Every structure is written in C-alpha cells, then in structure tokens.
Amino acid sequence: MPSRRSHTKSRKGCLQCKRRHVKCDEELPKCGLCQKRKLQCKYPASSNEADSLNPSTPQDEVESMCSSNELSLSTRMLEMRLFHLYLTETYITLYPGKLDTNHFQSAVPGLATSYPFCLDALLAFSALHLASKETGDNRQWVECALKYQNRSCSAMSRVLAEFSVEYSGPAFICSILIMLCSYAYPCVSKDDQPFDPLGQILEIRRLLAGCAFFFHQLGKMEHPGELAGWLRYKDAEDSEEELSKEQQDPKLIQLRSALLDSLARIRGMIDEVDESRREVNQDIWEFLNEAVKRPLGGREGGVIALPVRISDAYVDLLKEGDWMARILFLHYGVGMHLLSDRWFVRDWGRRLVSTVLQPLKEIPPEWKETVAWTRQAVDLDKWSRS
C-alpha cells in the first residue's frame, strides 16, 4: 500500500483559509475555496503584516518558535518583565468603573496574547509605567515604549485599511492604551522638550476619534464577549456621587466642588459673547460640567476624553486668543488636575495651566479673579518655585 502523502501547509494562502486552517490553492485573484463559498478573498501583503494583524494560534506560535531564532533572549526577557509588571501593578492604575473588577487584569491581557498589535500597545503602556517609577535616567524605558507604540500604530493603520468587525474588541482596547500613552509621555519623559498643550490635545483628539469608532463597531458585534461591559456606558446615567476610592481624597473632592462652582459662575457669561462663538464655547462648557462630576469615567469618558469634543472652531478661537475659550481651556487643565494621582496624568493639568498663562501679558479685569483661582487650584506658584 503506497504511503499517504502529507500535505504541506500553505505559507502564502489567503487570510480566509488561514483562519479556517485549510490548505489554500493560492489561485488569483480568488482562491478556489473562497470562490466556492462566495467569500471575500484577501491575501496578506507580506508575512510580517499578516502576523501583526491576525490572531495567533498555539500551532502558529510553536511553528514560529521552531523555525526562527530572530527573537533574542534579551527581548523575550524584556517583554516578560513588562507583561509581568502589567499583570501585577499597571492594571491596578486603570479605573474599572462599570467593568468587571478583573477586566483589566484578565480580559485585556487575554486579548493581548491573541492580537500582536494589542500586545505591543500593552507593552508600551507598561514600559511608560516603569519609566514613571524610575528615579534616575529613564530614557531607555521611554524609548522602549516608543518602539512598541510605533509598532502597534503601524499595525493599527492596516487594521483600519482592512477592517472587519472581528477586530473591534482588540482594536478598541489597543486605541485606549495608545491614547493613555500619549497622555503619559510628557508626564514621564525627563527631556527638555517644551510642553505644547494644544498640540497634545489635537493628537489625543485624533486617537480618541479612533476609540469612538471602534467603540461604535463593538456595539455592532453579536457576541462582544468579555468586552460587553464597555457597552454599559452607552445608556448609563452619570452620578455625581459615584466615585472611586482613589477619588475620595478630601483635597480632590474640595477641588472638584470648587471647579463646578467656577463653571457655574462663567455659564452666564457665555450667553453674553457673540452668537458665532457662543455655541462653540457652550458645547465645551457642557462637556466639562458633566465630566468633572465623573473625572475618570461616565457616559462621555470623563475629563480625559475632552479632546474628542474639541471642534476645529474651538481650536480657532484658542489660536485667535478668545478669552472665553481660554478660560474654558484653563478649567480643563484644572479638571485634569483632579487625576493628578494617576501616574499617566500627574502634573499634566498644571503644566497646561502654566503654558497657557505664561505668555499672557494683560488679563481683562473681568477674568483676573478666575485666572487667579486657576493658578491657586493647581498650586502653580508653589510648583514653579520647586
């Protein structure tokens, strides 16, 4: 009896056949199986790109390990260190809100082990956390974080180009981690680069737009699995009293109350500005007023999510030197100071207030008291002397 011929695994097969672990005949433009099943047939642009997008399987991982020695021992040890840090310390710094308490400890790392672009974002975030804990020179960890974030962003651009709903969950988590990295860089980095709050806001706005897109796609999934908890925020009623234990600090509670009072005082002044500017400023005021009540979460994402609501018209007002727009921007800085106990925020809000006020030579009489309050709210004078 002739020996049975074992088939060789197709290395250049289409993505559909790879996902189903069947041999692809590699016909162009459409393989035989996809043509028969009337499926969309796509081939990976290169092996590296396919690996970064597709969920890995145990078989793929074993074959890759046996056939390649590219991953050095030092890289493996580095990534294990960063992954361990996330599982033991970093996840605790992410407020779960309405999510299951183990969401960031279990569900997120689970996605990271199946989607390389999500893993790279997690490693970047952990590297920045390690940089924040480093008392000496932390440049190696900042550079490490940049490497993993760049790799993750590169893969995410391909996810968007070839998007399918199955990527919604990991892409959503990945976009959140990358957004948090963008907030963290100026807080963690010890270089002498000037802080540009508006430039930072515009970059974070772009990233938050990605978060919003993937969140919308997540809502379309029939079975979102462990990420279903995120959908509870869609119709949730924000509660001013619902605060995490970390936010029970008496100083932060007092600051939040004072910030809401200050916003209430300037609400009437918005009605007095030109009609063309009123609606733009009012939109920012309404977001801030709700976000300050739930700084770390809520239906709109909390204070940290303000950039996604900033319109081009509001950016233009800031660039023109519109005082109402400036005052609201300063209140955003004070709002971010409510999160100063988070390592990825720290003095972000204080630096924003400082940078906005530094070039101002003359303050209109009606805003002097408010500006003085924002300085005091973030301890700006005390920080400047230190």
Band of the pLDDT at 248, cuts 50, 70, 90?
Answer: low
CA 247 vs CA 68, 241, 271, 296, 341: distances in Å: 48, 11, 33, 9, 9
Specify the higher pLDDT residue, 284 or 200: 284
Better pLDDT: 337 or 297: 337
Q: Using pLDDT thresholds of 50, 70 and 90, give the confidence band for residue 352.
A: very high
Report the first-to-last Cα separation within the chain, whole angstroms. 86
Please tell me the predicted confidence (pLDDT) of residue 18: 75
Does the pLDDT at position 203 exceed 70?
Answer: yes
Q: Tell me the H-state helices in the chain.
A: 15-20, 32-37, 47-53, 58-67, 73-88, 108-112, 116-133, 139-161, 168-188, 197-218, 250-270, 275-291, 312-320, 323-337, 348-357, 365-377, 380-385
pLDDT at residue 378 is higher than 90:
yes
Q: Could you tell me which of 197, 308, 275 has the C-alpha nearest to residue 299?
A: 308
Residue 65's pLDDT is 45
Phi and psi dihedrals of 257, rounded to 5? Answer: -65, -45
Q: Position 246: which residue type?
A: E
Task: State the average pLDDT over residues 168-186.
Answer: 92
Are 114 and 56 in contact by the 8 Å Cβ rule? The answer is yes
Q: Which pLDDT band, with edges at 50, 70 and 90, does 4 fall under? A: very low
Nearest to 148 by CA among 275, 56, 52, 238: 52
Lowest mean pLDDT among 43-47, 74-78, 113-117, 289-293: 43-47
What domains appear along the chain, each with residue ranges and CATH number? Answer: 12-43 (4.10.240.10), 74-231 (no CATH), 250-382 (no CATH)
Reference 268, options 370, 132, 124; nearest CA is: 370
Instruction: Say if CB 246 and CB 95 are below 8 A apart.
Output: yes
Give the lowest-confidence range in 43-52, 209-218, 304-313, 319-328. Answer: 43-52
**Phi, psi of 169, deg, nearest 5:** -65, -60
pLDDT given at position 256: 92
Q: What is the pTM of this model?
A: 0.77
The type of residue at 60 is D
> What contacts 221, CB < 8 A, 6 or more positions away?
165, 168, 169
Residues in contact with 39: Cβ distance below 8 Å, sequence separation at least 6, in sequence order: 16, 33
- Give the position of tokens 């209140």: 331
- Average pLDDT over the chain, rounded to an integer: 82
CA dihedral (197, 200, 201, 202) positive or negative: positive
Residue 134 has pLDDT above 80, yes or no: yes
Write down the pLDDT at residue 43. 66
Question: For 159-175, what is the mean pLDDT?
Answer: 86
| Residue 1 pLDDT > 60 | no
Residue tagged 């906005």 (tokens): 356
What's residue 244's pLDDT? 53
- What would you report as the CA-atom Rg of the chain, rounded to the nearest whole angstrom? 24
Distance of CA 17 to the CA centre of its chain: 33
pLDDT cut 70: percent of the chain above it = 81
